[in-house]
Structure 1
Amino acid sequence: MEGSDDEIELVPLTDGQAEQFARIEQLWPEFGNSLQVLAASDGGGMGWRTVDGVEYLTRYTQENSKKKGRSLGRRSPETEAIMEQFESTVLKARRIRREYREDVLLSCKLAKAYGIARLHGRFAETLDWLWYTDANKRVALFGGSALLAYESGSKTLTPVELIKEDRLRFIAHSEDPEKIGLEEIAEACGDGEEEMRVTLDNGVFAIRADEKVVAEIYRPSYFLGRLERSARKTLKQGFEMPWLRALTFSRDTRPIELCVPEPRVYAMAAYCLRDKDEIWDRRAQFAVRMVEECWPDKFDQHQEAVMDDLPDHGRMRLREP
């Protein structure tokens, strides 16, 4: 594959940048899991309470700033199992969050100092919400923000002009709007006060806050319908590959887990949109070069043919959507 006359330079991560990615990746499996466990719990505590010489398992919660207790039954193998489960999940998660919090915060602050905390705070809120609810199993982040997910694995810094965008973009796992969960994703894109609407604009689901588009969701068919047969088959196989989960840092110094297409798939999908805006051509070029020079898994011959500019292959033809 030949590059354009205006090739995008690959800038390696500095030692300090790479160190912060490595550090947060070391902390995140336990710390991130603790956050999800605690978010799913209803707070409060649990313990044994003795009444007239009999131990009862009691669930404690706060209501209107007052401590409330609810008995779960006498001490027995069943209630002991409940208590053990609580200790191994909620109490363990609280301990991990408490022990790791300062290290995570320090890594995020250093990431900002080193210039790799670049995810827009508003986008981070939405993506964090999708991660907490597991909705990111249904949609993968696309667009400029998705390129941040490849920085640690490729050890390269994405050019800032490729990241800039005014909305989040996603690729859905399913063609079925109900399986995508459009209403839930629209809710995540709002601030709780705006009225969110979902419309279908030229084959793309647009999520609107009032009249402003804040996110777009592409179904796989949007890309596949623009390709000739052999390229369509290759990209379809790419969409069936497992999505990549990777970490980045938000501008407001938080670790954010991103779910994105594998970078070879990103490159092919971005290439499909190159006639819509020059930025997609440049994003595709960057992803291609990043994979070729810095990613462990390279393009196979079929994937290369999707984007090949060599004279004896010719540029892949696009169909109108």
Structure 2
Amino acid sequence: METEEDVELVQLNSAQAEQFARIEQLWPEFGHSLQVLAASDGGGMAWRTVDGIEYLTRYTRQDGKQKVKSLGRRSPETEAIFEQFESTVLKARRVRRELREDVLLSCKLAKAYGVARLHGRLAETLDWLWYTGASSRISVFGGTALLAYESGSGIIAPAALVKDKHLQFVARTEDLDILNLDEIAEACDVDDEGATWKYDDDRYLIRTKLERRLLAEVFLPTYFVRRLDGDAHDELKGMLRGPGTKALTFSRDTRPIELTALDPRTYAIAAHCMRDSDLWAERAQFACELVRQRWPDDFDRVQDIILDADPDVRWSRLRGP
């Protein structure tokens, strides 16, 4: 990929890098505890003695009232249930309690040092997709994806390139049943206005039902590969369906957010396919230089061929949103 001028890569300073390192240290335990607690129905569990016999009792609250349910007499089976509750829910509560202040401090420092840049509205959607597991079916694209490469590369993404009015994703499948766009649309509807999706030229547009405000785009792999052939077609198709890159970033409202973004090599090529837009040309250029200079895995031969080709000659241009 030839460029008119070199891209200046700005390194994270020591304070910024320290916050990424700290949240990455805390997140495996803390993040898992959040998922465990989100999947539980709250409440507690304890042994209760009635007429000299111990019963395992489950306590929950519904509509402000406590509900009590006996799970049976003390036995190997109920002891196993209680042990499971202790090792999952109770452990998760302890981890969340013990690490919450450290996590919050890291997020506040990240904001003070200028690396908490993800808009709260977008963070809400990405958080929901992480909680539900929907992020295993789609990869973050657009400017937001560049935030996922900061820690791994040690390079801060230019502010002009990361701004997104709405989220963009690339689907890892074209099977609608697997993709489950209803769940993705619900995650995007953070204001609870109601959201719907519609197919449009190898992508799905998610909009609010009444105002028709665009909330997100979900690109199918065919959006990028339909004008490629041979090795280039097969290479990019496989890359777009790959597991992507998991990384942490910080939201402006001081939360750690786990992103599953396109691998930066895939991002660079997909952005290159959309480079008739000045913004996408700059994103492609930045991603290419980041990979070549600071990412552990460089482009392979076929990927270099795609990047070095002139889109006007090799394939018809793909126009971005």
TM above 0.5, one fold? yes
Tell me which interval the TM-score lies in, with the shorter structure as reference length: over 0.9
**Match of 1:290?**
290
Distance 2:75 2:120 in 1: 48
Q: Can you list the C-alpha shifts for 1:261-301, whole angstroms capped at 9, x where unaligned?
A: 111111111111112x2111111110000000000111111
The answer to whether the 8 Å contact 1:308/1:314 transfers is no
Deviates more, 1:226-235 or 1:123-132: 226-235
The answer to whether the 8 Å contact 1:206/1:215 transfers is yes
**Match of 1:248?**
249
**Match of 1:302?**
302
Distance 1:190 1:4 in 2: 41
- Aligned residue pairs, count: 316
**Match of 1:208?**
207
**Match of 1:144?**
143
Structure 2 gaps of 5+ residues are: none
**Which AA in structure 2 matches 1:263?**
P
**Match of 2:221?**
220
Distance 2:192 2:311 in 1: 51
5 Å matches for 1:34-45?
Answer: 34-45=33-44
Q: Can you list the C-alpha shifts for 1:6-29, whole angstroms capped at 9, x where unaligned?
A: x43100000000000000000000
Distance 2:260 2:153 in 1: 16
5 Å matches for 1:232-271?
Answer: 232-271=233-272
Distance 1:64 1:318 in 2: 60
5 Å matches for 1:45-60?
Answer: 45-60=44-59
Percent of counterpart pairs with the same letter? 60
The answer to whether the 8 Å contact 2:17/2:151 transfers is yes
Identify if the C-alpha distance between structure 1 residues 79 and 43 changes in structure 2 by more than 3 Å, giving closer, same or farther. Answer: same
Identify if the C-alpha distance between structure 1 residues 230 and 316 changes in structure 2 by more than 3 Å, giving closer, same or farther. Answer: farther
Q: Which runs of 4+ in 1 moved over 3 A?
A: 313-316
Identify if the C-alpha distance between structure 1 residues 29 and 316 changes in structure 2 by more than 3 Å, giving closer, same or farther. Answer: farther
**Match of 1:98?**
97
Structure 1 gaps of 5+ residues are: none
Q: Can you list the C-alpha shifts for 1:60-102, whole angstroms capped at 9, x where unaligned?
A: 0123333221100000000000000000000000000000000
The answer to whether the 8 Å contact 1:135/1:185 transfers is yes
Q: Can you list the C-alpha shifts for 1:155-203, whole angstroms capped at 9, x where unaligned?
A: 0000011111211000001112221111110111113531212111222
Distance 1:316 1:48 in 2: 74
Aligned Cα RMSD in Å? 1.5
* 1:215 counterpart SS class: strand
TM-score (norm 2): 0.95
Q: Can you list the C-alpha shifts for 1:122-176, whole angstroms capped at 9, x where unaligned?
A: 0000000000000001111000000000000000000011111211000001112
Shift of 1:205: 0.4
Shift of 1:231: 1.5
